[in-house]
Structure 1
Amino acid sequence: MADPDRQHQLRGRLATASLGGTSYPQWEYEVTAGGRVRYLVDRTNRTVHLVYASPRHPRDTDR
């Protein structure tokens, strides 16, 4: 990864998200100044689930 400072686990109510009844840590990668990609990390199955991608900054982190 070119810039590891652009990637972080979300905090607060966004720190985890549920998929198929299982809760996973939710991470975000800052693609551009506003663009974001969010994904859930399933360490057990060594899988990443893409859950959000947008060219704009998500408003749910503004709260």
Structure 2
Amino acid sequence: MTLGKGDPVPPPPGKGEFEVKFTSRSAAVGWLELCRQAPGNTLDAWLQMRTGPAPVVPTPRHHRLKGDLAIGTRNGKTYPQWQIEVTGGGRVWYLFDENAATCWLVHAGTGHPKRTE
């Protein structure tokens, strides 16, 4: 399966769920690597984005990013940017577009993102 920019993260959302889409090919590649290395944790992250992408009570493993990373831009619009810690180093970053009921997967990777260091 080849996944890339703009593609939805399979399968399609159920009733009341949020859609998850890739913003880039590199996010898709990183997602597939997370699926390979930590399938259970990646499934949990996917479920969190589908059912509760902006938790009222954030946790250390699922929270909004801070500072310059708290907001991300897509197609000229700004959105809150969230992070899910999938593994000790693996992270998923996504923009939450509540109006479109979509999480835009910006980054997925098995190593800690250098932008946060």
Check whether TM > 0.5. yes
Structure number, greater radius of gyration: 2
Question: Does 1:12 pair with 2:67?
Answer: yes
Looking at structure 1, the residues matched to 79 and 105 of structure 2 have their Cα atoms a distance apart, in angstroms, of: 12
Question: Does 1:51 pair with 2:114?
Answer: no
Count matched residues.
61
The aligned amino acid for 1:21 is G
What's the counterpart of residue 38 of structure 1?
Answer: 93
Higher helix share: 2
Q: TM-score, normalising length from structure 1? A: 0.89
The aligned amino acid for 2:100 is N
RMSD (CA atoms): 1.6
Give structure 2 stretches of 5+ with no counterpart: 1-43, 46-58
Q: Once superposed, which parts of structure 1, at least 4 consecutive aligned residues long, lie more than 6 Å away? A: none
Looking at structure 2, the residues matched to 23 and 16 of structure 1 have their Cα atoms a distance apart, in angstroms, of: 6
Looking at structure 2, the residues matched to 29 and 44 of structure 1 have their Cα atoms a distance apart, in angstroms, of: 21
Q: TM-score, normalising length from structure 2? A: 0.49
- % identity of equivalent residues: 48
Give structure 1 stretches of 5+ with no counterpart: none
